[in-house]
Amino acid sequence: NAGVTQTPKFQVLKTGQSMTLQCAQDMNHNSMYWYRQDPGMGLRLIYYSASEGTTDKGEVPNGYNVSRLNKREFSLRLESAAPSQTSVYFCASSEVSFTGELFFGEGSRLTVL
Amino acid sequence: GENVEQHPSTLSVQEGDSAVIKCTYSDSASNYFPWYKQELGKRPQLIIDIRSNVGEKKDQRIAVTLNKTAKHFSLHITETQPEDSAVYFCAASVETSGTYKYIFGTGTRLKVLA
């Protein structure tokens, strides 16, 4: 089992460019999440998905879109990247009916110039 | 909206001493409170959690206490060791739309001095 896999691990963008962060989990979890981590700010929830076909906004959704493609995959898209979106992005999944524990991916470091 | 405050932001202790990290939450509907440890350059990993129907939980050197009336919970690490050095995050979660929505605190950087 790979757990939660994110790609890419590193990315540099110019302001205004677009990109998609991919996330896949092989634990058959229903719930998936995207967080961003900035120094001194902790982990802030961008979007989450309770199940395939549903998505909800978190604390900081502006500037992002998400797609829950199927049960395994949950992607995060930046349509027009801004320097304020420079961050480390973590995807996570959980199975509420079991423990509720969040399983995180390794993170994707994004720099917007 | 929901908010979780965490203190202190940094904590230095001598090896063998105890460390305490405190969190308060705003949403009274929160019912699940996990703690995550993040080592440098790594992903956060769950170390202990507590549900709202329990006041205290212990796992070897780690314990968590919850006071629902005051809306605060704490992490206690006894007999600290150098490998306990990491950033610790508390979180409060509320069940919504068939899942948990987790809100994290801003983290505590713990340094255990040998």
Query: Is pLDDT of A2 > 90?
Result: no
B47 touches chain A (CB under 8 A): no
Can you give the pLDDT at residue A1?
67
Which pLDDT score is estimated for A99? 65
Q: Do B89 and A42 touch (CB under 8 A)?
A: yes
Inter-chain touch A56–B100, beta carbons under 8 Å: no
Enumerate the residues of chain A whose CB falls inside 8 A of the CB of residue B107: 40, 42-43
Residue A98 has a pLDDT of: 59
Nearest to A50 among B49, B89, B99 (CB): B99
Specify the pLDDT at position A40: 81
The pLDDT value given to residue B6: 97
State pLDDT tens for residues A42-88: 899 999 999 898 999 999 999 999 999 899 999 999 999 999 999 99
User: DSSP string covering chain A, please?
Assistant: ---EEEE-SEEEE-TT--EEEEEEESS--SEEEEEEEETTTEEEEEEEESSTT--EE-S--TTEEEEE-SSSBEEEEESS--GGG-EEEEEEEE-TTTT---EE---EEEEE-
Query: Which of B42, B100, B104 minimises the CB distance to A43?
Result: B104
